Structure 1
Amino acid sequence: MSGLDSLYQELILDHAKHPHGTPLAGETGRVARSHQHNPMCGDDVTVQARVSADGTRLLDVTWSGSGCSISQASASMLAALIDDDAGESGVARERVTALIDGFREALRSRGRLPLDEETYADAAALSGVSKYSARVKCAMLAWVALEDAVARA
């Protein structure tokens, strides 16, 4: 295992053990939830997305779930990414959609398209998952839940 692969593995395990994504704070905006289940391995993730009153910005994301280290780390990394991008005004829905689409494309690339660390922060560590098709659904679970929740909001 290369040094970078080892570092990425440690980052995934750290997010799985110490997840980001705390309970929603405040009552401002609309909250939508989405529960996703991976029947192949039993992973479960429920994402809550708080969207601005006008529906144009994602204010924050929280999640809860159970499952493998990859699914739990991916949910944590997603929550941290949105939290880092959101600031006080939130993240534009278009940006959230672009992040999800880019993540999906990279994970379906079978290792040919790595995630950019500048764009995806810690979630870039999940690029290697794309080489293992059985694990892609684990990494995608929270991202699909966020996509669904934002569509519902």
Structure 2
Amino acid sequence: MTQEDLYRRLVVERARTPMFGGEVEDAQMRGEGTNPLCGDRVRLTASMTPGGRIAAVRHETRGCAICAASADLMAEHVTGHDPAWVAELGAVFEAMLKTGHPVEAAGDLAVFAPLHQYRSRIRCATLPWTALTAMLNDLKDR
């Protein structure tokens, strides 16, 4: 299976039947991101462990399949990790989208590497990460 076939399959699966869709009950944090150019919108809810790790993240995404799949895979990958690790993964993800070179550290997120060919779609994939970063920064500011 080619990288492009894997991309299509995973994006469609996660957009149609997200594993991390919905809201976190008793959420400690909320975040939102909107792309006014295309109308994509992501709402995140999350909870933290007493040790400062992300216990759960859920998303409500209204937008294209790329945005919805990215939000779902992001939620899966950041659960159980601390904000510093999440920031590093977000930077790896963005760099991968710019270069188009899949990075092993990105795991399943590497399926988005082909988006580097479609610059206008990169924002679709990064919108959930932007919302997550803002949400975690708000936590630091408290």
TM-score range for the pair, normalised by the shorter chain length: 0.7 to 0.9
Which residue number corresponds to residue 77 of structure 2? 81
Which digits, 9 at most, give the CA deviation of each residue in 1:30-89, with x for residues without a partner?
Answer: 7221111111111000112222346x3222211101100000000011112123xx1xxx
Which residue number corresponds to residue 82 of structure 2? 92
**Contact 1:48 / 1:146 at 8 angstroms: preserved in 2?**
no
Shift of 1:7: 2.0
- The number of aligned residues is 138
Q: Percent identity?
A: 28
Which residue number corresponds to residue 114 of structure 1? 102
Pairwise CA RMSD of aligned residues?
A: 1.8
Which digits, 9 at most, give the CA deviation of each residue in 1:93-138, with x for residues without a partner?
Answer: 21111111111121122x2x3232xx32321111111221100000
One-letter amino acid of the counterpart of residue 41, structure 1: C
Show structure 1 runs of 4+ deviating over 4 A. Answer: none
- Which residues in structure 2 correspond to 1:25-36 (within 5 Å)? 25=25, 27=26, 31-36=28-33
Unaligned runs of at least 5 residues, structure 2: none
Query: Secondary structure at the residue paired with 2:39?
Result: coil
Question: How many Å separate the matches in 2 of 1:115 and 1:148?
Answer: 24
Question: How many Å separate the matches in 1 of 2:15 and 2:108?
Answer: 12
Query: Secondary structure at the residue paired with 1:101?
Result: helix
Unaligned runs of at least 5 residues, structure 1: none
Within the alignment, does 1:49 sit opposite 2:46 as a pair?
Answer: yes
Shift of 1:21: 1.3
Which residue number corresponds to residue 149 of structure 1? 135
Which residue number corresponds to residue 20 of structure 2? 21
Q: Could you tell me the TM-score, scaled by structure 1's length? A: 0.81
